[in-house]
Amino acid sequence: MLDQLAFPEGFLWGTACSAYQVEGDNRRNQWWEFEQQPGAIWHNERCGRACDWWQNAEQDFDRMKQLHLNVQRISIEWSRVELEPGVFDATALDRYRAMLGGLRARGIRPMVALHHFTNPLWFERAGGWESPESVKHFACYAQGVVTALGDLCDFWLTMNEPIVHLVQGWMRGIWPPHKRSYRATRQVFLHLLQAHAAAYHVIHKHQPAAQVSYAHVFKVFYGQRQRSMLDRIAAMIKRRVVEQLWLRATIDGKLRAPLGNGRVVPALVNTLDFIGVNYYSSTAVRFTPNPLPLFGYESIGAGSELSDSGRNGPYSAYQPRALYHLCLELSTIPKPIYITENGLPDADDDQRPRWLLAHLYQIYRAIRAGCDIRGYFHWTLVDNFEWTEGWGLRFGLFDLDPQTQVRTPRPSAHLYGEIAQHNAITRDLVMQYTPHKVRDYFVD
């Protein structure tokens, strides 16, 4: 009788977070400035000290070690390390050296993102991502970081979800810089891609053997009404713009319509060493003649089980199988896959254990079906500052009281630690957390 669903030897188990969301007091970027505006953040909350990582990330590194995690995704806060163009702050870089060293000393391999939604104010004032200069600025920043930290990290993401940054900032206009402009969207798309490619090459020049990519958003769009051709077409348009344009450009270098003009940029070709998959749930699309939301309104499939939701409505739906199909589809690209984010907001942890097991089970199935999936990063270890939703959405394996900084493990922390320790989903764990699934997961 099968007692466990074992993952491949050396599989990476970790959590993911970003600098702004955990470090605290990152006052020199556009998000801090935005936060100060009344109503910007749900309940007018503030990031403040966040999880206090700038002072004491090490206490959470200890928690990771206790959970037997062997990898951790962090990001570098650009506005902390590069105070003005080309001027790097040695003290800030030293703090990152201490963090990377601290992770490694605990047997945890760092994966480092250079960009996770925040931009220095000096960069914004110089035109931000709409300016062609942005590419040079980002390359210079990448150079500064890899020179200072490269001996401690060989696993890099140039950017986290550049398409989310683009859509929220320049298409929907709900994040800074609050624009709704097709022209600016096209420019920023091109500059982000070029900046990614520049950083990719800078890192590889310095570290030929490094693993470098980006974390990409996958919303797995599908037509909401089964029989509606228009819904299906709207879903295809979304897929193309949100998921495919960037991914394919980093494979063959081609800038496709509607955000590109068909030209091939040689520097972009093959600028991913692995596929970083950020997956939370799939998304239903209903056609609208309105071009602004790309001809489709997004929603959660009817009847889906929902996680906690923020002020913008239902946050995510329970769709673990979509992750299996996504991995299979991505396997046609000959690159290893890492699930660079997956999780849910669930303050009372009444869903997380079941959701976690179900998503890991689908990853296990995908591996069995031949997908080269090498690691999983749960979003996130400790509740952190959830952008415009403030402290209202709780994604942590540990509950955090941001006032006192007291952390309390949720049951899922224990569950995830056991899985990482055994490198397997054991029958006992399934019995304990989702007994009704034992028969589904352990087909003898």
Q: Contact residues for ligand BGC (CB under 6 A)?
A: 18, 160-161, 164, 278, 341, 379, 386, 395
Find the shortest distance in angstroms from Cβ 120 to ligand BGC: 18
To ligand BGC, the closest distance from the beta carbon of 241 in angstroms equals 17
Nearest approach, Cβ of residue 124 and ligand BGC (Å) = 19
Smallest distance from the beta carbon of 278 to ligand BGC, in angstroms?
5
CA distance 361 to 24: 35
Q: Which residue has the tokens 């049951």?
A: 411
Cβ atoms within 10 Å of 197's Cβ, excluding its own: 23
Tell me the residue type at 122.
W
Task: Please say which residue, 165 or 374, places its beta carbon nearer to ligand BGC.
Answer: 165
Assess contact for 3 and 443: CB atoms under 8 A. no
Other C-beta atoms lying within 10 Å of the C-beta of residue 431: 12
CA 193 from centre of chain: 17
CB 197 within 8 A of CB 259: no
Shortest approach of ligand BGC to residue 82 CB, angstroms?
21
Pairwise CA distance, residues 404 & 37, whole Å: 25
Query: Please, what is the minimum distance in Å from the beta carbon of residue 160 to ligand BGC?
Result: 5
**Closer Cβ to ligand BGC, 53 or 395, answer by number:** 395
Cβ closer to ligand BGC: 72 or 160?
160
Nearer to ligand BGC, 217 or 367 (CB): 217
Closer CB to ligand BGC, 231 or 308, in the complex: 308
Residue 141 C-beta: closest distance to ligand BGC, Å: 19
Distance CA 339, CA 13 (A): 10
Rounded to 5°, angle at Cα 318 from 312 and 321 = 135
Q: Which is nearer to ligand BGC, 88 or 214 (CB)?
A: 214
> CB of residue 441 vs ligand BGC: minimum separation in angstroms?
26
What's the min distance (Å) between Cβ of 440 and ligand BGC? 27
- Rounded Cα distance between 224 and 237, Å, is 14
Residue 18 or 143 with smaller CB distance to ligand BGC: 18
The answer, yes or no, to whether the previous bond of 283 is cis (omega within 30 of 0) is: no
Burial 291-329 (b: 16+ CB within 10 A, else e): eeebbbebebeeebeebbebeeeebbbbbbebbbebbee
Greatest pairwise CA separation for the chain in angstroms = 64
Which H/E stretch holds residue 16?
A: strand 12-16
Please state, in angstroms and rounded to a whole number, the distance separating the CA atoms of residues 381 and 347.
13
Contact 33, 176 (CB under 8 A): yes
Q: Which is nearer to ligand BGC, 278 or 362 (CB)?
A: 278
Contacts of 378 (CB under 8 A, 6+ apart): 14, 15, 16, 342, 343, 356, 397, 416
With respect to ligand BGC, which residue has the nearer C-beta, 189 or 315? 315
- The two beta strands, 406-409 and 337-342, are unpaired
In whole angstroms, the minimum distance from the beta carbon of 385 to ligand BGC comes to: 8
Compute the chain's Rg from CA coordinates: 21
CB closer to ligand BGC, 42 vs 442: 42
